[in-house]
Amino acid sequence: MTETSPEASLGHKTGLNAFSLLACRVGTDLLNFLLFLVVSRRFGPEGTGEYGYGFALAGLVYYAATLGIEEYGVREYARLPAERRPELIANLLGAQVCIAVAVIAILIGYLAITQPLPHMLIIIVCMTIYQLGAAFSATLFVPAMAEQQMLPPAFINLLGRGTAFVVTGLLILVFNWSLYVASLAFAAGGLLMLVLALRSAASFKVRLMPNLARRVVLDGVHTLWSFAAVGLLGQLLNRIGVIALSLQVGEAAAGIYTTGLKLVEVACLPLVYIGVAAYPRLCHAFADPAGFQRLSRQGFVIGTLAAALLAAAMYLLVPPLLVPVLGERFAGAETIIAAMAAIVLAQGMEIVLGRLMLAANLNVARAVRIAFGTLVCVLLTIVLTPLFGIGATVAALVCSYLLVDLLYYGSLFGSLRKAQLRAGATLMKRA
């Protein structure tokens, strides 16, 4: 009987984890999409705009509060000796608690300035609780993810998020509840995720009490700022269009744009979860510069081709189904949704290159480059959206993502070439 090689075993485990993550996320997104259908048909583009606006603000809270801890935590947990791993989780939780408090204070200030209507405020608060539960759950899942035991976190995520989507949809569809009252189910789903994530982390014997020592918190923030910046700026890059359209054009336009972004998100899921599943393996492979460079080039080529195929699928398949699925009030939005397929290609390349940069310890370089791309997107969106409408919003996002992709590519492969040259020079000196 032939033995399975370690490389083949790693590949099999990566594939199984990617399938598990993708399957659970597809289930979650299917439930989310069904809720989206309920909201769209019951409340129209205006209700969809409120739903998207609430999610946009709560999403910014989520990505600020996660601090990029999942990416950093998995990388460090996989490389640390076993005795230091429990302390790592306590330190990460301490930094996360402090940042979450600061983010909530900023959100309160924003709401005080914009003064949303009472029903909109309830939606935002409920979705923020939901996203905070998901943010802390991501940190608590670090041990399981680093050990490549990815099915339990994926299932817990499906259960918590699915509960929010299903209950909210039933309250609207069956009991005719308003969107803002039904959104209370989102808060319950976030709390459910948090409780189950605590049980998952406890099974790995890690310390669950956040370490709030001043030195630990400051060190954590100093280490994690670049990871947090990428997550927050990535959300701002995507969501600035929703916010601009809501404030400058109208809720109907924001609803159409939100619909397109949701379809883009679904189309990019395979790239996201293949990257998550391969991440621990990439972190270990970085010790071999030549091997990592070869793996990175292969990943970039395959990922770009996959992104192009996914973009083509969205362009060809989605527009004809828009009105039959979402309703007559979305008639005329087909052209915009088709144009948003370009976002799939540009964002898909960013997903692939961004994951490779994290594995290559280029998290600071990644943060700087996406900050520049986000600044460009914000300026283009704010200036052009009032003049040219939703089409300009889409174009601004695509151009900004392509700029980020170009900057990522130059930084990643330039750094890998230098690392390989240094390794070759060291070998020659030793010889």
**pLDDT tens figures, 218-266:** 887 777 777 777 777 887 888 888 888 877 887 778 888 888 888 898 8
63 versus 363: the higher-pLDDT residue is: 363
Res 291 pLDDT > 50? yes
Q: Which two tokens stand for residue 317?
A: 């398949």
Phi, psi dihedrals of residue 200, rounded to the nearest 5°: -65, -45
State the pLDDT at residue 4: 52
Please check whether residue 1 lies inside any domain of the structure: no
Please check whether residue 428 lies inside any domain of the structure: no
State the pLDDT at residue 2: 47
190 versus 240: the higher-pLDDT residue is: 190
If one counts the domains in the chain, the total is: 1
Residue 58: name the closest of 117, 116, 130, 114 by CA.
130
**What percentage of the chain carries pLDDT values higher than 90?**
38
User: Band of the pLDDT at 7, cuts 50, 70, 90?
Assistant: low
Spatial contact of 355 and 275, defined as CB atoms under 8 Å apart: yes
Name every residue whose Cβ is closer than 8 Å to that of residue 237 and which is 6 or more positions away in sequence: 370, 373, 374, 377, 397, 400, 401, 404
Please check whether residue 2 lies inside any domain of the structure: no
Please check whether residue 267 lies inside any domain of the structure: yes
Please check whether residue 370 lies inside any domain of the structure: yes
Q: Which structural domain, as residue segments, surrounds residue 173?
A: 9-423
**pLDDT tens figures, 304-327:** 999 999 999 999 998 888 878 777
Please check whether residue 184 lies inside any domain of the structure: yes
Please check whether residue 4 lies inside any domain of the structure: no
Phi, psi dihedrals of residue 381, rounded to the nearest 5°: -65, -45
Residue 366: name the closest of 402, 404, 397 by CA.
404
Please check whether residue 307 lies inside any domain of the structure: yes
Chain-centre distance for alpha carbon 108: 23
State the pLDDT at residue 34: 87
Structural Rg of the chain based on CA atoms: 22
**pLDDT tens figures, 348-405:** 999 999 999 988 888 889 989 999 999 999 999 999 988 888 889 999 999 999 999 9
Match 């280490």 to its residue by tokens. 223
Name every residue whose Cβ is closer than 8 Å to that of residue 310 and which is 6 or more positions away in sequence: 267, 268, 270, 271, 344, 345, 348
State the pLDDT at residue 5: 55
What pTM, to 2 d.p., does this model score?
A: 0.69
Pick the range with the lowest mean pLDDT from 38-47, 82-91, 126-135, 213-222.
Answer: 213-222
Average pLDDT over residues 293-312: 91
